[in-house]
Amino acid sequence: MSQRDFPSDRAVRPRWLRTLTASALAVSLVVAASLPAAAAATPSAAWSGTEAQRAQLQQLARKLVEAGAPGVIVRVDDGRGRPVEIAEQAAWTRRDHLLKAGDEFRMGSNTKTMVATLVLQLVAEGKLALTDPVEKWLPGRVPNGKAITLRMLLNHTGGLSDYTEDAAIRPAMLGRDRRRWTSAKLLAVGVKHDPLFAPGTKWSYSNTGYAAIGAVLERVTGTGLAELVRDRIARPLNLKHTYYATDATWRGSHAHGYELDAAHMPPGVPAEFRHFAGTRHHGHVDVSDNDPGWGGAAGAVVSTTQDWSRFSTALMSGKLLPAAQVAQMRTTVPVDARQPDGPGYGLGIQTGATPCGTFWGHDGGMPGYLTTNLTDRAGSRTATVLISTEFWAEFEADPKIAKAAQALQTAVTCTMFGKPVPTAAHAG
């Protein structure tokens, strides 16, 4: 999937938490698909396991920093030995924080996988049904709510317009508005706009759908999302650095996220998206302390590479959900009607085929943080890439970073599947 495959007007609007089409996750598909299958999947004489993996991935992570990324964290576990963990950062960021592979960071839209897991747990307990119309739980709050099911909200086929495109959210995105955005408030912003299509007829990534899901979870359980994530996922799995953020506070050592300041922002970026709140130095703004609450059920979770690997393994192996609900999560719809056999989206999770293997996972974008999480079908292999700047993925703002990110993501994907890093990616 390439940006070029989608309507041109999307190139002038931000994609924060809104779409996978320009994401690092999709990038791995684009690049891997362009490589000869043999180059990506056939072991070579030069392949020597973990040390070779580490050296190649570290080189690509350094190239990404040299291309302009303030920091990069990589963790890859191929299920056969000690995971590869890498942290690289630009020299100018060291005065703020020495980046470590175990640091916390904003997960952005990866939150959707966790929120979908909560819904499916309640389905297994008989408290919800995927066929429930949203009107049943949120009467009068969603247009055409009798025709939109919880399944449609989870797999982005409900047709709801995305609240992140509304100007009311923009100050919060830029860190200039500290108001608390509840699920109900985010949903209200999204449903002010006309639906994009009749429920169930198309696919379009919608954070509004997950705001609705958040409101449903709170209504059914009488419990806040932060407590649900803590009690149903983080504590049972001993995820000590995973939590649903209720304010800008971090709980542990964390990666600092940065965006270019207004003076260094590429000229194609509209004026209304050029001014982030935060401390300025070296042509960047440190956005780490900006509140992620506007992400809500669509993007407010914080985690680490190790924690998310444990979560992915538990999820895909059936530790968090019964087999029937895991199967429902993996039931996908095409993300592009023109590619019915291409990448698919399930319930809070995406899948796609590469020459090195078929992955499951998600990604997330929030100012200062762009994250990709991958796993295999069984959850025995996992990988995470964090890039500590996100704006390069908006407005096609930095082709140099994009190229380096593509090379790293492709290499990470193949390493996760125990395959040699493609020569083309390594050279990138």
Q: Which residues are catalytic?
A: 109
Reference 302, options 238, 246, 237, 224; nearest CA is 246
As a whole number of angstroms, the distance between CA 390 and CA 375 comes to 22
As a whole number of angstroms, the distance between CA 145 and CA 138 comes to 8
Task: Please list the residues that pair with 259 across neighbouring strands.
Answer: 285
As a whole number of angstroms, the distance between CA 85 and CA 90 comes to 17
Q: Which residues contact 262 (CB under 8 A, 6 or more apart)?
A: 274, 275
As a whole number of angstroms, the distance between CA 78 and CA 382 comes to 7
- Which long-range CB contacts under 8 A does 91-98 form with residues at least 24 apart? 92/281, 92/282, 93/256, 93/258, 93/388, 95/281, 96/256, 96/286, 97/253, 97/254, 97/255, 97/256
**Residue 180, Cβ neighbours under 10 Å: how many?**
11
CA 408 to chain centre: 16
CB 121 within 8 A of CB 232: yes
Strand ranges (E), 196-326? 243-244, 258-260, 279-281, 284-286, 301-303
CB 181 within 8 A of CB 294: yes
Give the strand pairing for 105-106 and 301-303. antiparallel
